[in-house]
Amino acid sequence: MSRGPAPTVVVAVVSTNTREYLEPCLRSMEPDARTGLAEVWVVDNASTDGSPEMVRDDFPWARLIASEENLGYGPAINLVAGRTDSEWLAIANEDIELRSDTLERLLDAGARHPGTAVVSPRLELRDGSTQHSVHSFPTVPFTLGFNLRVHRLSRRLADRLCIEGAWDWSRPREVPWAIATFLLVRRSAFEEVGGFVDNQFMYGDDLDLGWRLKQAGWPARHEPGATVFHVGHVAGRKAFGPDLRARWMASTYGWMARRRGIARTWTVAFINVLGASLSAAAYTVLARVRPGRFGRRAAMYRIWARAHRQGLAAPRTLRSLGLAARRS
């Protein structure tokens, strides 16, 4: 494919031993690449499943960086950003597929809101449902209110706080931050805050970017008219196993210790562990009357209480807290 005018958006896809998902991902991006709207880059993190060879042979229009080591997610995106100069940068997991007109709709939303740094699409899961993809920042007031269930007092409040199950995904709106499964990012904002940090290997990197952008006066926006299909947790489960909760918590608490300080981190963790433990105890009592429904809830809260404890005690979290940690 000949090179024409500079593309409006550079799409950076990060892939690690996920060839079966990378292929349909790139197929979905080919129309935008062919028209010149997008330039697609693939950063392969030392895959051994033939992914780099597939990109070279089957997608010659895509630009490939075949890394000999696993760079992680954020550093891989930074690598592409440093080699390109488009107005917009789209960051993408390998287990996504763009629906028709996705990029055009996201770009239109970005043009209509010039002060916005990030535009996030609706993420569609395999069963057709919408993935919860936007969140409030894990501050002490939010964590306390969440565990006290204050969002249950008002549907509008729950929606404004982006509570899972109560958030209205169909409404275009400004949001605190969005997960980096697929995001359109204004390059000037991305460069202003220094892009992704190199010490956040996987998970928490989107939280950190969203926090720094918000602090710099660059908000994020959700655009439900643009849809991206998402398989979900493909790279994470290959790297860390099926249960990712403790990994998520370790990334979040590690980030919080670095950005928000030790006192806030311990306070948020204490509230979360206490809240989940008390909920587990309450539902355990109720399960004596209705074991099916309440028993499942009790088990769920026990799992989350354990995940918060494990996340806080993880070596990466303890290092961020400035405490000694020994690997088992």
Reported confidence tier of residue 323, pLDDT bands at 50, 70, 90: low
Element (H, E) at 296: helix 291-313
| Measured CA distances, 282 to 118, 140, 276, 278, 305 (Å) | 40, 23, 10, 6, 14
89 has which bridge partners?
10, 185
CATH class of 9-133+169-240: alpha beta
What pLDDT does residue 36 have?
Answer: 94
240 vs 35, higher pLDDT: 35
* 246, pLDDT greater than 80: yes
Rg (CA), the chain: 20
* 240, pLDDT greater than 80: no
What pLDDT does residue 248 have?
Answer: 84
Whole-angstrom distance, CA of residue 282 vs CA of residue 5: 62
pLDDT tens digits along 81-108: 999 999 999 999 999 999 989 999 999 9
- pLDDT-above-90 percentage for the chain: 80
Residues 6+ apart with CB under 8 A from 157: 150, 151
Q: Which amino acid is at 324?
A: A
What pLDDT does residue 311 have?
Answer: 85
Coil vs helix vs strand at 184: strand
What pTM was estimated for this model as a whole? 0.90
What are the extents of the domains in the chain?
9-133+169-240, 245-320
What pLDDT does residue 319 have?
Answer: 72
Tell me which residue of 9, 21, 68 sits closest to 43, measured CA to CA: 68
pLDDT tens digits along 106-125: 999 999 999 999 999 999 99
Q: Read off the pLDDT of each residue in 205-222 and give the average, rounded to a whole number.
A: 97
What pLDDT does residue 237 have?
Answer: 56
Supply 256's token pair. Answer: 């919080």
What pLDDT does residue 325 have?
Answer: 41
pLDDT tens digits along 130-169: 999 999 999 999 999 999 999 999 999 999 999 999 999 9
pLDDT tens digits along 44-59: 999 999 999 999 999 9
What pLDDT does residue 188 have?
Answer: 97
What pLDDT does residue 127 have?
Answer: 94
Q: Read off the pLDDT of each residue in 27-52 and give the average, rounded to a whole number.
A: 96
Reported confidence tier of residue 233, pLDDT bands at 50, 70, 90: low
pLDDT tens digits along 274-284: 999 999 999 99
Supply 269's token pair. Answer: 């963790």
Element (H, E) at 228: strand 220-230
What pLDDT does residue 326 have?
Answer: 38
Element (H, E) at 316: helix 315-320
Reported confidence tier of residue 234, pLDDT bands at 50, 70, 90: low
Q: Residue 91: is it exposed, middle or buried by C-beta count within 10 angstroms (0-12/13-18/19+)?
A: buried
Task: Report the chain's mean pLDDT, rounded to a whole number.
Answer: 91
